[in-house]
Amino acid sequence: MKTYTTTQGDTWDYIALKELGGEIHTHLLLKTNPDHAKTNIFSSGITLNIPDVPESANIAENLPPWKKGK
């Protein structure tokens, strides 16, 4: 597992996009860093653990219904 040190203004979805490849993985960051779950906008210098995205994570399965085209 790697780590990420925040900069002023970082948000969960931005970090997920930058480090995990998509905002859809924000829940993985929150699960891995429960001590910071109530933080919306980070100050600089916070070290977060960045989980590995499971290969079995099928992005299409995690999309809301209106994004699946159904």
What integer pLDDT is reported at residue 61 of this predicted model? 62
What integer pLDDT is reported at residue 56 of this predicted model? 62
Which helix or strand (DSSP H or E) is residue 3 part of? strand 2-5
Structural domains of the chain in order of their starting residue, each with its CATH number = 2-52 (3.10.350)
Read off the pLDDT of residues 21-67 as tens digits, 9 standing for 90 and up: 999 999 999 999 999 999 999 999 999 999 998 876 555 566 667 76
**50 pairs with which residues across the strands?**
2
Q: What whole-number distance in Å separates Cα of residue 64 and Cα of residue 48?
A: 27
What integer pLDDT is reported at residue 19 of this predicted model? 96
- For the segment 2-9, the average pLDDT, to the nearest whole number, is 98
